[in-house]
Amino acid sequence: MTQTSYEKYNLKEVINASGKMTILGVSKVSDRVKKAQAQAGDSFYEMADLSKQTGAYIAKLVGSEDALVVSSASAGIAQSIAALIGQGSRYHLYHPYERRGEKREIIMPKGHNVDYGTGIDVMIAQGGGELVEAGYANRCTSEDLEMMITDQTAAILYVKSHHTVQKSMVSIEEAIKVAKGNNLPFILDAAAEEDLTGYIQMGADLVIYSGAKAIEGPSSGLVVGKATYIEWVRMQGLGLGRSMKIGKENILGFTQALEDYVTNGSESGEAMKARLAPFVKSLNEIPDVSCRSIQDGAGREIYRAEVTISGGKSASEVITELKAKSPAVYTRDYRSNNGIIEFDIRAVNEQEMLKITTRLSEIMQ
């Protein structure tokens, strides 16, 4: 009998009720994606040509001038920053941190400088940029962005994410207007977002996505945007991007996942709510547990089970106990200090929901 990876390597089984999280391997991939990866694994390609041709194919699917598959959204940020600083310079490509008069300042709203597993500022620095924060943690306006622009500004970076401060922040459209008005490139980090066309239509110059989150591909990232800028990003594969290279299997696996996503979309909010309903009902039957269905705080069509813990245990203690055994149940714990745990069911099936209910019932008893 074939051993599972859990058995072979003495690993805990994991139920991922936290969402598309890097620490858990992000997403499950479809059979079509696995087939594309297997075919790639059995084949050889001129890798430069594979990069260009898959990029051109993806660009047609999403309505951008060009596109590039990279190893992750983080790599996409670092390589995009380096590209806009170097602007196609071969010297800069091999000496990305040596100053020769390049503009290196990257302006970003202060409330967007978040930790998503590492800091956005770390990726800016890795790309050779110098972060300039605009506004305050709880407020950034168009005027706040504009006043930080100098003759050393290389680009404006905006982070569209539930991790960032949501209130009193300049909108994407307003930030793009500032960038255009000052002839600056506009980079949008949209790692976990589902809209693959709207941001380019708004006027963003480079948009960066995670390949393994909403798109449900293998470990990968995507940069779409203006052809000249994408070519500069592609050049970084011969520079600092060399340490972030992506293999043929994941390039073709991701391209298949994106094609499927464009064709079929993801689970609708209504379908998610329908799947949540019996789960919420069963959780409400557990002592000292109150549960309801809520929408994602950043307004995405994602619905989760919000559990409020009362009684003798804290939410943090419950979260720790949920992870302690196999299967380890991982949840969203951003609001645990307020006694709240969220369960994201996008990658959770009915059988796993039953296991979660049973485990939580045992803990609360």
pLDDT by residue (tens digit) across 217-248? Answer: 999 999 999 999 999 999 999 999 999 999 99
Q: How far apart are CA 25 and CA 48, in angstroms?
A: 27
Q: How far apart are CA 364 and CA 15, in angstroms?
A: 19
Residue 199 domain-assigned (yes or no): yes
pLDDT of residue 21 exceeding 90, the answer is no
Residue 285 and residue 151 in one domain: no
Q: How far apart are CA 182 and CA 351, in angstroms?
A: 54
Residue 251 and residue 278 in one domain: no
Residue 181 and residue 111 in one domain: yes
The token pair that represents 8 in the structure block: 């072979």
Residue 118 and residue 245 in one domain: yes
Which pLDDT does position 160 carry in this prediction? Answer: 94
Residue 49 domain-assigned (yes or no): yes
Residue 181 domain-assigned (yes or no): yes
Domain, as residue range, for 337: 5-25+267-364
Residue 255 and residue 274 in one domain: no
Residue 258 and residue 271 in one domain: no
Q: Which of 68-82, 193-207, 232-246, 284-298 has the least mean pLDDT? A: 284-298
Residue 192 and residue 75 in one domain: yes
Cα separations (Å) of 68 from 154, 210, 257, 275? 21, 12, 15, 35
Our count of domains for the chain comes to 2
Cα separations (Å) of 181 from 146, 165, 176, 187, 356? 9, 25, 8, 15, 52
Residue 113 and residue 227 in one domain: yes
DSSP 310: -
Which pLDDT does position 130 carry in this prediction? Answer: 97
Cα separations (Å) of 256 from 31, 60, 212, 221? 10, 14, 12, 13
Residue 249 domain-assigned (yes or no): yes
From 233, 264, 295, give the residue that closes a domain. Answer: 264
Residue 35 domain-assigned (yes or no): no
DSSP 115: B
Q: How far apart are CA 80 and CA 250, in angstroms?
A: 20
Instruction: Identify which has the larger pLDDT, 64 or 26.
Output: 64
From 231, 248, 264, give the residue that closes a domain. Answer: 264
- Which of 75, 73, 36 has the alpha carbon at shortest distance from 259? 36
Which pLDDT does position 131 carry in this prediction? Answer: 98
Sheet holding 289-295, edge to edge: 289-295, 303-309, 340-344
Residue 249 and residue 113 in one domain: yes
CB contact at 8 A, 59 and 234: no
Residue 226 and residue 119 in one domain: yes
Which pLDDT does position 80 carry in this prediction? Answer: 98
If pLDDT is split at 50, 70 and 90, which confidence band does 251 have?
very high
Q: How far apart are CA 163 and CA 114, in angstroms?
A: 7
- Which of 25, 9, 68 has the alpha carbon at shortest distance from 244? 68
Region 39-60: mean pLDDT is 97
Residue 226 domain-assigned (yes or no): yes
Residue 206 domain-assigned (yes or no): yes
If pLDDT is split at 50, 70 and 90, which confidence band does 204 have?
very high
Residue 33 domain-assigned (yes or no): no
Tens-place pLDDT, residues 83-134: 999 999 999 999 999 999 999 999 999 999 998 889 999 999 999 999 999 9
Which pLDDT does position 229 carry in this prediction? Answer: 98
CATH classification of the domain holding 215: 3.40.640.10
Which pLDDT does position 326 carry in this prediction? Answer: 87
If pLDDT is split at 50, 70 and 90, which confidence band does 296 have?
confident
Region 324-352: mean pLDDT is 89
**Mean of per-residue pLDDT scores for the chain:** 93
Residue 149 and residue 232 in one domain: yes
Residue 84 and residue 180 in one domain: yes
From 208, 238, 264, give the residue that closes a domain. Answer: 264
Helices (H), the chain: 5-8, 31-41, 47-62, 73-86, 90-94, 120-126, 142-147, 172-181, 198-202, 227-235, 248-264, 269-283, 315-324, 350-364
CATH classification of the domain holding 18: 3.90.1150.180
Tens-place pLDDT, residues 122-136: 999 999 999 999 999
